[in-house]
Amino acid sequence: MSDYNEHNDSELDEDKEEKNVKKNGDASTTANAGKSDNSEYEDVCFVCRRPESKAGKMFKLPNNICICDDCMHKTMDMVSQFDYQGMLNNPHVQDEINEMAKKNGFPKISFVNLADLRGDGGIPNKQKLKKKKENAGQAGQDPILDIKNIPPPHKIKASLDDYVVGQEYAKKVISVAVYNHYKRVATGTMDEIEIEKSNMLMIGPTGCGKTYLVKTLARLLDVPLAIADATSLTEAGYIGDDIESVVSKLLAAADNDVEKAERGIIFIDEIDKIAKKKNTTSRDVSGESVQQGMLKLLEGAEVEVPVGANSKNAMVPLATVNTRNILFICGGAFPDLEGIIKERLTKTASIGFGAELKDKYDKDKDLLSKVTVEDIRKFGMIPEFIGRLPIIFTLQSLNRDMMVKILKEPKNAILKQYQKLLELDEVKLEFTDDALEAIADKAMERDTGARALRSIIEEFMLDIMYEIPKDDNIGRVTITKEYIQGTGGPIIDIRSNQIAGRLEDLKQYPTDAP
């Protein structure tokens, strides 16, 4: 009998142990499954259904319920509007509660059971956003230029030469300025002598490469870059972007890392649009007042900027950013500046054989290179603003030879882009020298700089990109001058290296630029 009891007790113990193991195993499996799901997919707000990448940091509640910061603040504001104490002290409300208590013994007050709520809101995984991998595709890659060991100016210029054609003087100036600026950032002070910032003002016609030069420089240095447009900036209190919004854009480009943003680059384009308005009696809220508001940013000051928004009135936290080590580069076309320079150069009238003609500078392509600070002040920029941009240089307008080089020489030239596209179809694309010169001539007629090259190539490559995939036997396409001018077609070579002739179907499409 004792043996039988001992046997039953041992079986009961084994069953309990097996159930406990199974229960713990199921719990651990469930926990691990939840961890894997949460680690792969983003959290979604239970109220507004926005993912974590859009809504920001989430508040974690029981049962895997997540609420974003905005919804949590709105809920707390809504709750704070109700006077629960006054409602309960109201005699009419108290009488109703007493009557309910007499009938049911307790008022019918129901509480929200968080266990009844599903944390995922019933959203399937395919409708959720996966978390972005940090530094995806950049693992093991180092920046071309390291600001801690900044290379000399000639190496910076050599890196710019691979992407930017021409503008030798501008590349030399910006290389020296960046070299001196980041030496200043790395050292701070040298023998108790504080080094001032090397803010720059670049002047050049449209399409000469001002924005592209700054973008290339920031990519080579691997520093955060913010590109702002001065046309949307207004004085504080008026509709438009605040002046501090340019710093908030830099903070967003640095992934809200203040330390990283404080050594970045801010490029303010269309700076000529904030010049003082002439002959006006209305308040200049987007001209001189914007220049005065930007003085503290250019010189260096601690400013409070909103995180993730352009306006300080947004319900977002504020971050303090010191602009002392931020490099500001301002650029603009200054369309009427040439007339001011010409007026200054020809204001001295003289008579005789040695007199200068009034139209001497009408056809001068490098007239902007003769600009002075007085010309910029007369254009409408206040002296305090110009004084905080010590480095002023101009960019040349593009000529025919520079246009041809832009087409084929840079690493990401537009012709190389189309050659890569056709390589995916196993078709080789070639351009004759006469065709490149014809494209450059058409671009010079439009007078919009390098931007005209893209639009012209898009016009005549449209038919080729449409017709070539129809025939798998085509192995090479050669663009000729006649095709650019609309008097012929491209040369099509079959894969057997036998010339099949010209593509007659493309002759019917007009290729002349408007």
Contacts of 181 (CB under 8 A, 6+ apart): 197, 198, 327
Residue 311: domain span:
199-394
Q: Does residue 11 belong to any structural domain of this protein? A: no
pLDDT recorded at residue 513: 45
pLDDT recorded at residue 116: 54
Angle at 328 between CA 322 and CA 330, to 5 degrees: 150
User: pLDDT exceeding 90 applies to what percent of the chain?
Assistant: 7
pLDDT recorded at residue 180: 84
Q: Are residue 213 and residue 256 in the same domain, yes or no?
A: yes
- Looking at residue 460, which CATH number applies to its domain? 1.10.8.60
The 10s digit of each residue's pLDDT in 250-270 is 988 888 888 888 888 899 988
Helix (H, G, I), strand (E, B) or coil at 277: coil
Of 205, 193, 147, 155, give the one whose Cα is nearest residue 175: 155
Q: Are residue 283 and residue 374 in the same domain, yes or no?
A: yes
Q: Are residue 310 and residue 443 in the same domain, yes or no?
A: no
Q: Are residue 493 and residue 466 in the same domain, yes or no?
A: yes
The 10s digit of each residue's pLDDT in 389-443 is 999 999 888 888 888 988 888 888 889 988 898 888 888 889 999 999 999 999 8
Q: Are residue 330 and residue 453 in the same domain, yes or no?
A: no
pLDDT recorded at residue 356: 58
pTM: 0.65
209 exposure class (CB count in 10 Å sphere: 0-12, 13-18, 19+):
buried
- Tell me which of 357, 377, 394 is where a domain ends: 394
Q: Are residue 386 and residue 408 in the same domain, yes or no?
A: no
Q: Does residue 434 belong to any structural domain of this protein? A: yes
Confidence of residue 222 (pLDDT cuts 50, 70, 90): confident
Q: Are residue 431 and residue 317 in the same domain, yes or no?
A: no
Confidence of residue 487 (pLDDT cuts 50, 70, 90): confident
Q: Are residue 405 and residue 487 in the same domain, yes or no?
A: yes
Average pLDDT of the chain?
75
Q: Does residue 207 belong to any structural domain of this protein? A: yes
Q: Are residue 349 and residue 452 in the same domain, yes or no?
A: no
- Tell me which of 127, 146, 180 is where a domain ends: 127
Contacts of 333 (CB under 8 A, 6+ apart): 203, 204, 205, 206, 270, 272
Contacts of 251 (CB under 8 A, 6+ apart): 257, 258, 261, 305, 307, 319, 321
Number of domains the chain contains: 3
Query: Two tokens at 191?
Result: 């023998």
Distance CA 265, CA 142 (A): 19
Q: Does residue 498 belong to any structural domain of this protein? A: yes
Helix (H, G, I), strand (E, B) or coil at 152: coil
Q: Does residue 143 belong to any structural domain of this protein? A: no
Distance CA 424, CA 220 (A): 28
Confidence of residue 328 (pLDDT cuts 50, 70, 90): very high
Q: Are residue 449 and residue 320 in the same domain, yes or no?
A: no
Judge whether 234 and 286 are in contact, CB under 8 Å: yes
Q: Does residue 475 belong to any structural domain of this protein? A: yes
The 10s digit of each residue's pLDDT in 108-117 is 444 455 555 5
Q: Is 80 exceeded by the pLDDT of residue 311? A: no
Q: Are residue 338 and residue 483 in the same domain, yes or no?
A: no
pLDDT recorded at residue 135: 46
The 10s digit of each residue's pLDDT in 125-152 is 443 444 545 543 344 444 444 555 778 8
Q: Are residue 432 and residue 359 in the same domain, yes or no?
A: no
Of 44-48, 319-323, 401-405, 473-477, the range with the lowest mean pLDDT is 44-48
- Tell me which of 355, 378, 394 is where a domain ends: 394
The partner residues of 190 in beta bridges, in order of sequence, read: 193
Q: Does residue 279 belong to any structural domain of this protein? A: yes
pLDDT recorded at residue 84: 53
Q: Does residue 456 belong to any structural domain of this protein? A: yes
6 exposure class (CB count in 10 Å sphere: 0-12, 13-18, 19+):
exposed
Q: Is 80 exceeded by the pLDDT of residue 347? A: no
- Residue 154 or residue 104, greater confidence: 154
Relative orientation angle of helices 400-408 and 433-446, to the nearest 10 degrees: 120
Distance CA 271, CA 225 (A): 17
Q: Give percent helix, percent strand, percent coil of the chain, each to the nearest 5.
A: 50, 15, 40
The 10s digit of each residue's pLDDT in 39-85 is 566 777 888 777 777 778 888 888 778 888 888 888 887 777 655 55
Identity of the residue numbered 137: G
- Residue 7 or residue 401, greater confidence: 401
Chain centroid, CA 362 distance in Å: 39
pLDDT recorded at residue 103: 63
Give me the count of residues in the chain: 514
Helix (H, G, I), strand (E, B) or coil at 355: coil
